[in-house]
Structure formats: structure tokens, C-alpha cells
Amino acid sequence: MPNLLVFNHVSLDGYFTDARGDMSFAHNVQPDPEWDAFVEGNASGNGTLIFGRVTYELMAAFWPTPMAAASMPAIAERMNKLAKVVFSRTLQKAAWHNTTLIKGDPGEAIRQMKAQPGEDLVILGSGSLVAQLAPLELIDEYQIVVNPVVLGRGRTLFEGVREKIPLQLTKTREFKNGNVFLTYEAKH
């Protein structure tokens, strides 16, 4: 049975987007071959990518483009091939290759996906979706990259979560570009 993982970048002050909803701070890092290899290796896995509408639209606008294929060919290939699910009440269709649109309750849909055999499910970005699913104890692991930048204002990954969610730190890794990768398991 698959686990549900979250992979996200946050600023040092805890925001996953700035006040305008921009996440580009996560990509404004010093060149670091070790980081580049980590990102490429992380993208080589299997499974299903899970998105909310906003992140889906950002990803679908970039990864199928020639610019993505030229700048990050291995990652672009994986992003375009992997199965994808987007949760949205407002999208009419999901045109990005291998994407399923779900308009219903994300919690119920994720419960059903986790009950089926298969590879892990990975939420990228999609803070609203993370905030909906975390209190339901559906997220098994949080993979967080802390970027060496202070944004001052923005949106937190857990905006709207009202209850404590206990987590256990299971892995850390530092990179020369200042990024720190943290892995936490949920203690359900």
C-alpha cells in the first residue's frame, strides 16, 4: 500500500510561498553539483504526483516545455511521464499528459488511493492540499527543504491547521548551497 509523502521548499522563516504566491525563491540558490545530483535522483522515483490546482497549473505550464527539457532533461522527462492527480473544484480539464482531475473530497480520494496497491503518492507544493490532509493523518512523511532565505511574509505550508501534528525527525542532509533537507515521519 502506498504512503503519502510531501516534498516542499520553505524559507528559513517558514513560508513556502512569498506574499505574492511566488515559489521561485526555492530555485535561487548558488550552483551546487551535489544539490543538482540530489534533485535529479529524487526525481527518478516512481509513484503518483499529487497537486492542488495552483501548483498543477504552474507545473503544467513549465515541465512540458522545450525550456524544461533543455535545462533539466532528466527531471522534465520524469515529471511528464509520471502519473499525476490534480484536486480542483474549478478546473474543467487537466490537459497535462497522464493527469487525472478529481473534483471531489481530497481526503476521501487519498484514503481510496492509499488502500490500493501501488507506488507512493507525492504531494509537490500544494500548501492548501497539505493543510487539508495533514489533520486527517493521511500524510505519512514530510520531506522539507529549508532554503537560506528570509521572506518576511508569505503562506505557511500548514496554514489553517488548528491541532498539533506530532512528527519524528528521521533524516537530515546539508548542502553547500545552504539548503538543508529534513525528513519527518508522522506519528499517527
The predicted-structure confidence for 81-134, as pLDDT tens digits, reads as follows 999 999 999 999 999 999 999 999 999 999 999 999 999 999 998 999 999 999
Per-residue model confidence (pLDDT) at position 174: 97
Give the Cα separation of 85 and 120 in Å (integer).
Answer: 13
Predicted confidence at residue 31, as pLDDT, reads 83
Does the pLDDT at position 29 exceed 90?
no
Q: CB atoms < 10 A from the CB of 33, how many?
A: 10
pLDDT at 172: 97
Closest CA to 177 of 64, 26, 16, 46: 26
Beta bridge partners of 102: 87
> Mind listing the pLDDT tens digit for each residue in 6-17?
999 999 999 999
179, three cell numbers: 539548503
* CATH topology for the 4-186 domain: Dihydrofolate Reductase, subunit A (3.40.430)
Q: What is the pLDDT of residues 43-64, one digit of tens each?
A: 767 899 999 999 999 999 999 9
Q: Specify the pTM.
A: 0.93
Question: What average pLDDT does the structure give for the chain?
Answer: 93
What does each C-alpha distance from 92 to 1, 40, 57, 88, 101 come to in angstroms?
30, 32, 12, 9, 8
Q: Nine-digit cell at 55?
A: 501548483
Question: Pick from 113, 105, 14, 103: which is nearest to 53 by CA?
Answer: 103
Domain boundaries, the chain: 4-186
| CA 155/CA 17 separation, integer angstroms | 5
Residue 98, pLDDT score? 95
Q: Return the pLDDT at 92.
A: 93
Q: Are 157 and 171 in contact (CB under 8 A)?
A: no
Of 149 and 160, the one with more pLDDT:
149
Sheet with 121-124, side-by-side order of all strands: 99-102, 83-87, 48-52, 121-124, 4-11, 141-147, 180-186, 167-174
